[in-house]
C-alpha cells in the first residue's frame, strides 16, 4: 500500500545526506514526468529534479546537479530523491509533483501539480 505524500526530511549539517520519498495516487502512471520541487521562505517554488514516468531520462537544476539523484519505483507511484553534499542553500520545503505535458523535463514553472504537504529540509553550516 502506497502512503501518499512526502517524507524523509529533517535537520542536518552541511555535507550530510538525506533521502526523500513520495507516494502518489494511482493515476500518476498516466503522467509524463514526476518531479521534486522546493520552496524556500520568501522565494518562488522551483523545480529541482524530474524523471520521465515511462522512461529513464532525468533532469536536474544546476544548483543540485551532481549532488541529488531522482528515482522512481516500478509501481510508478513512489518517487525518491537522494540528496548528498547538502548545503545551507538547500534549506526549503520539498514537494513531489506530476506533470502531464510533453516538455515536462524542462521543469517550467506551473507544469507540476503537487498533492502533499511537503517535507522540510534544513541544512545548517
- Tell me: the pLDDT tens digits for 6-48? 999 999 999 999 999 999 988 888 999 999 999 999 999 999 9
Neighbours of 58 (CB within 10 A): 17
**Whole-number pLDDT of residue 98:** 95
40-49 contacts at long range (C-beta below 8 A, 24 or more positions apart): 40/91, 40/92, 40/93, 43/92, 44/109, 45/95, 45/109, 46/109, 47/107, 47/108, 47/109, 47/111, 47/112, 48/81, 48/94, 49/81
- Which helix (H) or strand (E) segment holds residue 92: the answer is strand 92-99
Confidence of residue 123 (pLDDT cuts 50, 70, 90): very high
Taking residues 82-97, report their average pLDDT.
Answer: 97
Taking residues 80-94, report their average pLDDT.
Answer: 98
Taking residues 50-70, report their average pLDDT.
Answer: 96
Taking residues 94-116, report their average pLDDT.
Answer: 91
Amino acid at each position: 500500500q502506497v502512503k501518499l505524500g512526502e517524507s524523509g526530511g529533517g535537520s542536518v549539517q552541511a555535507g550530510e545526506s538525506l533521502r526523500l520519498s513520495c507516494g502518489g495516487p494511482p493515476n500518476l502512471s498516466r503522467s509524463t514526468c514526476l518531479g521534486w520541487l522546493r520552496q524556500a521562505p520568501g522565494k518562488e517554488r522551483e523545480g529541482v529534479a524530474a524523471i520521465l514516468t515511462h522512461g529513464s531520462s532525468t533532469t536536474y537544476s544546476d544548483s543540485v546537479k551532481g549532488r541529488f539523484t531522482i528515482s522512481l519505483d516500478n509501481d510508478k507511484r513512489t518517487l525518491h530523491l537522494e540528496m548528498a553534499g547538502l548545503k545551507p542553500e538547500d534549506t526549503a520545503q520539498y514537494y513531489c509533483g506530476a506533470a502531464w505535458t510533453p516538455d515536462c523535463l524542462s521543469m517550467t514553472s506551473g507544469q507540476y501539480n503537487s498533492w502533499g504537504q511537503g517535507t522540510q529540509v534544513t541544512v545548517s553550516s
